[in-house]
């Protein structure tokens, strides 16, 4: 059996103040305003540290489905790498970027994400990866009964747009990965930041969802079983994706630092237990109590869609 911990949307802040020039004349100004007006009051560093400590215990692998940083500032990257390095001393870590990690075009041009997080992206099938600005994706890790497959949906967007895209090249590569003999004999655990199943309006999806979600789902058509894990929504969600070959479980993790009265939103992590034959034994969440002292173990309610 393998146990996989799933965290998302850490929104790590820099321990030092950002210079105003790095914020004022870029898309970051909208994110900074959000931080001052809302996010800074509900993302708790002590909650995040409690979650990161918990995912090093009694799990075999930790996956992080994006928005690791808040504004993709250099100090935030440095702090996030430091935090995940601590986790990686005890358990293997795999990451995908979120829209906040590739916040502005210069982040892609300079290759900041793969340069900082490359140690978590060492693929067992590197020849099938695309060399994207966000890094070598799909990244594949063959671990016992599972194939962990990391996919990037993070691309720079204009202000007030947080949508993602997988893209033609990466979808073609993903199809080749899923057809690979070593992957086919395992259960795939696919990681992506944006919601792969989305019941919201098309306009909302174009602004905040996975714009090529239908094309992405079509690549999954030959897969008979598996997990598709994502973040972005800041809420734990579970639904199903029926394929011509079978059924996939689609599960979101909430923000790993969120202080919120709703337990489906409040900080915590998901954990998945997969048996040696590739069958899913458990899908559950470990949610911090409102004081941030202990975790409550709870199932993740299934919903008809992932809105």
The Cα–Cα gap between 269 and 254 comes to 7
* Average pLDDT over every residue of 165-177: 98
Q: Which of 72-86, 94-108, 161-175, 184-198 has the lowest mean pLDDT?
A: 94-108
Give every CB contact of residue 189 below 8 A, 6+ residues apart in sequence.
4, 63, 146, 147, 148, 149, 226, 227, 229, 272, 274
Q: Which of 14-28, 129-143, 246-260 has the lowest mean pLDDT?
A: 14-28
Task: Give the CA distances from residue 183 to residues 122, 179, 187, 278, in Å, rounded to whole numbers and listed in that order.
Answer: 16, 7, 7, 12
Highest mean pLDDT among 72-76, 95-99, 206-210: 95-99
Q: What is the pLDDT of residues 85-108, one digit of tens each?
A: 999 999 999 999 999 999 777 777
Q: What is the pLDDT of residues 249-290, one digit of tens each?
A: 999 999 999 999 999 999 999 999 999 999 999 999 999 999
E strands in the chain: 2-7, 61-65, 92-96, 130-132, 135-137, 139-143, 146-150, 187-191, 225-230, 237-243, 246-252, 268-274, 280-288, 295-299
Looking at residue 301, the DSSP 8-state letter turns out to be P
The confidence score (pLDDT) of residue 261 equals: 94
Residue 25's pLDDT band (boundaries 50, 70, 90)? very low
More confident residue, 21 or 292: 292
The confidence score (pLDDT) of residue 27 equals: 46
Confirm if 160 and 132 have CB atoms less than 8 A apart: no
Whole-number mean pLDDT of the chain?
90
Residue 307's pLDDT band (boundaries 50, 70, 90)? very low
DSSP code string of 267-290: SEEEEEEE-TTS-EEEEEEEEE-T
pTM over 0.75: yes
The confidence score (pLDDT) of residue 66 equals: 94
The Cα–Cα gap between 199 and 162 comes to 17
Structure tokens at 80: 């996030």
Q: Cα 292 to chain center, whole Å?
A: 22
Q: Which CATH class is domain 2-299?
A: alpha beta
The confidence score (pLDDT) of residue 244 equals: 95
The confidence score (pLDDT) of residue 304 equals: 66
Residue 133's pLDDT band (boundaries 50, 70, 90)? confident
Q: What is the pLDDT of residues 209-226, one digit of tens each?
A: 999 999 999 999 999 999
Looking at residue 37, the DSSP 8-state letter turns out to be I
Instruction: Using the predicted structure, report yes or no on whether residue 149 has a pLDDT greater than 90.
Output: yes
Report the C-alpha dihedral over residues 294, 299, 305, 307, rounded to 10 degrees.
-10
Structure tokens at 114: 């793969």
Backbone angles phi, psi at 257, to 5 degrees: -125, 10
Instruction: Using the predicted structure, report yes or no on whether residue 24 has a pLDDT greater than 50.
Output: no
Instruction: Using the predicted structure, report yes or no on whether residue 227 has a pLDDT greater than 90.
Output: yes
The Cα–Cα gap between 226 and 210 comes to 20
Q: Which of 4-18, 207-221, 253-267, 289-303 has the lowest mean pLDDT?
A: 4-18
Confirm if 52 and 267 have CB atoms less than 8 A apart: no
* Average pLDDT over every residue of 231-245: 95
């Amino acid at each position: 059996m393998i146990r996989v911990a799933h965290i998302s949307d850490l929104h790590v802040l820099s321990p030092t103040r950002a210079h105003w020039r790095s914020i004022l004349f870029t898309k970051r100004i909208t994110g900074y305003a959000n931080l001052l007006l809302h996010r800074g009051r509900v993302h708790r560093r002590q909650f995040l540290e409690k979650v990161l400590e918990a995912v090093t215990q009694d799990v075999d692998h930790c996956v992080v489905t994006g928005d690791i940083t808040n504004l993709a500032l250099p100090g935030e990257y440095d702090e996030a790498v430091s935090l995940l390095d601590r986790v990686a001393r005890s358990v293997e870590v795999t990451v995908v970027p979120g829209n906040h990690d590739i916040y502005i075009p210069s982040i892609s041009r300079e290759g900041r994400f793969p340069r900082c997080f490359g140690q978590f992206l060492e693929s067992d099938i590197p020849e099938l990866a695309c060399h994207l600005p966000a890094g070598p994706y799909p990244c594949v890790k063959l671990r016992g009964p599972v194939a962990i497959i990391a996919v990037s949906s993070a691309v720079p967007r204009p202000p007030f747009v947080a949508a993602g895209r997988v893209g033609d090249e990466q979808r073609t590569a993903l199809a080749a990965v899923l057809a690979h003999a070593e992957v086919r004999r395992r259960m795939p655990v696919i990681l992506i930041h944006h919601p792969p199943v989305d019941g919201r309006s098309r306009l909302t999806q174009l602004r905040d969802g996975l714009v090529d979600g239908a094309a992405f789902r079509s690549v999954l058509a030959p897969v008979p079983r598996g997990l598709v894990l994502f973040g972005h929504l800041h809420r734990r969600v579970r639904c199903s994706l029926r394929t011509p070959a079978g059924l996939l479980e689609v599960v979101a993790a909430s923000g790993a630092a969120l202080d919120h009265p709703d337990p489906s939103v409040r900080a915590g992590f998901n954990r998945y237990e997969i048996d040696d034959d590739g069958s899913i034994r458990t899908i559950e969440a470990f949610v911090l109590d409102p004081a941030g002292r202990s975790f409550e173990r709870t199932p993740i309610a299934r919903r008809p869609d992932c809105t």
